[in-house]
Amino acid sequence: MILLAADTAVHLCSACLYDSVEKEVRGRRVEDIGRGHAERLLPVIEETLAEAGRALADLDRLAVSTGPGSFTGIRVGVAAMRGLALALDIPLIGITVFDCMAHMADAEGAVLVVLDARRDEVYAQLFSADRAAAGPPQVLPRGEALGLALQHDAALFGSAAPLVAELGADTSPAVAGALSAVDIAVLAALAADRDPADEKPVPLYLRAPDAKPQEGFALPRREAS
């Protein structure tokens, strides 16, 4: 199976072409752009396909990271990959940033993936030693995340790992890594082994957007004559 994976959840714009039979990456493109995913995602996909000498018609499955992360980035990635899946009539699978990062963590036991949500909070999800989800995705104050990690003897992994670990006094969880973005090759490999029926490409936001319509600026509806 030839699978194309894409990630636009945070500052990276990434694509990967993965051969599930040989378990090899055939093409990969990663750009650290911060913003502008809508303009760069399709060119990044085209460049990835060109590197592998493949075309869209060669694809058997698509995958996309579903967050949490940037509201705009997640929407861009999920919408673009949904459009490709519809046009090519092939399955699309969604993989959360939590799931991918749990499999990236170099730790023997449980892992608590923690991402910086600002406001002294983190996006967090607990995974067991075999990297199965051991709790729901949630937004937690840093102190509660520390308590959760200590309760389950879990290593911390993700952009907020140092922020949570620094709250520990005599006892502090191990920090397995502080990455803020997923490895697109890991995401592709996970998606190749999953059932698309069980992993829907649904955005995982966890928090309402900060931008809201301004009150008092809505135009009155025009009455039909």
SS (H, E, C) the chain: CEEEEEECCCCEEEEEEEECCCCEEEEEEEEECCCCHHHHHHHHHHHHHHHHCCCHHHCCEEEEECCCCCHHHHHHHHHHHHHHHHHHCCCEEEECHHHHHHHHCCCCCCEEEEEEEECCEEEEEEECCCCCECCCCEEEEHHHHHHHHHHCCCEEECCCHHHHHCCCCCCCCCEEECCCCCCHHHHHHHHHHCCCCCCCCCCCCCCCCCCCCCCCCCCCCCCCC
pLDDT value at residue 28: 98
pLDDT at 207: 79
Pick left, alpha or beta for residue 34 (phi over 0 → left; psi -120 to 50 → alpha; otherwise beta).
left
User: Splitting the chain (225 residues) into consecutive groups of 10 residues, what average pLDDT does each group show?
Assistant: 98 98 97 95 98 97 97 96 98 98 96 96 98 97 96 98 91 94 98 94 83 50 52
- Of the candidates 56, 29, 57, 1, which has an alpha carbon nearest to the alpha carbon of residue 196? 1
What is the per-residue pLDDT for 221? 54
Q: With 0.75 as the threshold, say if the pTM is over it.
A: yes
Q: What is the pLDDT of residue 172?
A: 87
Query: Can you give the pLDDT at residue 217?
Result: 47
Please give the pLDDT value at position 203: 96
